[in-house]
Structure 1
């Protein structure tokens, strides 16, 4: 049982939206700036209802994120380069079938693995997490699967890599006095 006054501060609700399905033409997009398929009007409408009203919207500068926010009838207050997807280096632009098999890696090993010329999950998460800590009011964050996993890593560490994150899905976290909790993960329309 919590004693009165133990939790001081303001509860911040952070809604993290993965963009609508990317249209990379069968290749690994990562940091490539590709369009989103925002034609699923019913799905967009249902996600928009789930989002409700938020006092602040921040977005990855990626075209697919900005297009998704616009398709929801919203506009970001600011674009944050920290929210870009993981840079997969030499793997970007490769067909999925051509990506190397890394063999059996633990989530901790996978989190530290850097594709040639790219960044590791941990590198990417290290640029996303400070932004999430700085948010001082309820916020919609428009980002990528990596953005969602980086946020989840605040609670579950590298095990966040085990989560499948669907396009046009919503994950909701709360922060109170520096303590994070999960309301929902990967909610789709």
Structure 2
């Protein structure tokens, strides 16, 4: 994998969450620390980052600390995972089957008291847009350590389509690289972990 160019925004999903078999959007659970053999390739890829920002979630701040042990990483609350409302913290086995929904309907689906993906993508997208503006002004490469939903929000920005972004699975502790263009984005890589490097 080539090193990031200055004009990149890199979205890293947190390390595996210690969720205990439950849906965790706003439920704040720790991350399971991977070994150095897993962290080292990603840490090397991200070593040129000029800007690093994290979701406030414990699983994200811990991951940011493992990847950037010599830096204080600020947090941005707009980078939180989607709010799953009354289903947040529910066992996976208790979740309704959303498989029959097409992607467009899925973007508009919200559990009671929660937010739909369109709202989440707009919230996180605003934070990512601010970082992209910083990259355009010479502040990159920039790294965001956050959630699968946040990564998909970045893909929604790049694709111009929130529903299309839901087609992507986002692996824990993987990097998705977006090239920041004068007007828009292009996708450099999705789900890179260095495992095959």
Instruction: Please report the TM-score for the alignment, with normalisation by the length of structure 1.
Output: 0.90
Which of 75, 80, 84 in structure 1 is aligned with 2:76? 80
Against the structure 1 CA distance between its residues 74 and 148, is the aligned structure 2 distance closer, same or farther, given a 3 Å change threshold?
A: farther
Equivalent pairs, count = 179
Structure 2 equivalent of residue 68 of structure 1: 63
* 1:98-117 equivalent positions in 2, closer than 5 A: 98-117=94-113
* Deviation string, structure 1 residues 4-30 (Cα, Å, up to 9, x no partner): xxxxxxx63101110000001111111
Which of 140, 150, 154 in structure 2 is aligned with 1:151? 154
Give 4+ residue runs of structure 1 displaced > 3 Å after superposition: 74-77
Structure-2 separation of matches of 1:146 and 1:53: 25
Structure-2 separation of matches of 1:39 and 1:184: 22
Report the CA distance between 1:76 and its aligned residue.
Answer: 4.5
Q: Is 1:21 matched with 2:16? A: yes
How big is the alpha-carbon RMSD for the aligned residues of Structure 1 and Structure 2?
1.3
Structure-2 separation of matches of 1:75 and 1:28: 30
Q: Is 1:185 matched with 2:185? A: no
Structure 2 equivalent of residue 45 of structure 1: 40
Q: Is 1:174 matched with 2:182? A: no
Q: Is 1:162 matched with 2:167? A: yes
Structure-2 separation of matches of 1:140 and 1:148: 11
Instruction: Please report the TM-score for the alignment, with normalisation by the length of structure 2.
Output: 0.87
Structure 2: runs of 5+ lacking an equivalent = 1-5
Structure-2 separation of matches of 1:144 and 1:74: 22
**Which of these two proteins has the greater Rg computed from alpha carbons?**
1
SS of 2:166's partner is helix
Report the CA distance between 1:103 and its aligned residue.
Answer: 4.6
Report the CA distance between 1:178 and its aligned residue.
Answer: 2.2
